[in-house]
């Protein structure tokens, strides 16, 4: 939708959207450096951390209205979305 509405182009971004067959395939492409970003549920970041591989999640989505989940060992001072203000 973002591409169809021209938002990437409006921001000067040259984006190629690629469909992956499964979340694991997208993870592997990201870790191999074949892609710069992927879309997936938050559990992929937790699973990869348990395997010693760290990726940054920048947007969370779920089917639970109002759901908020934050996990960070590096920045224990971050306890809620409000703590990101000004960052």
Per residue in 26-49, pLDDT tens? 888 888 988 888 887 777 888 888
Contact 17, 35 (CB under 8 A): no
Q: Which two tokens stand for residue 40?
A: 């997936």
For range 7-26, the mean pLDDT: 86
Euclidean distance between CA atoms 18 and 28, whole angstroms: 14
DSSP reduced 3-state for 7: helix
CA nearest neighbour of 20 among 11, 8, 12, 29: 29
Contact 81, 75 (CB under 8 A): no
pTM: 0.55
**Residue 62: its pLDDT value, please?**
64
Q: In this structure, how many other beta carbons lie within 10 angstroms of the beta carbon of residue 28?
A: 14
**Residue 78: its pLDDT value, please?**
73
């Amino acid at each position: 939708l973002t591409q169809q509405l021209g938002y990437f182009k409006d921001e000067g971004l040259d984006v190629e959207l690629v469909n992956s067959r499964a979340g694991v395939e997208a993870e592997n492409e990201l870790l191999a450096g074949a892609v710069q970003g992927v879309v997936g549920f938050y559990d992929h970041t937790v699973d990869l951390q348990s395997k010693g591989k760290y990726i940054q999640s920048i947007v969370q989505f779920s089917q639970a209205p109002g759901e908020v989940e934050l996990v960070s060992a590096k920045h224990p001072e971050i306890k809620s979305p409000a703590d990101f203000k000004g960052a």
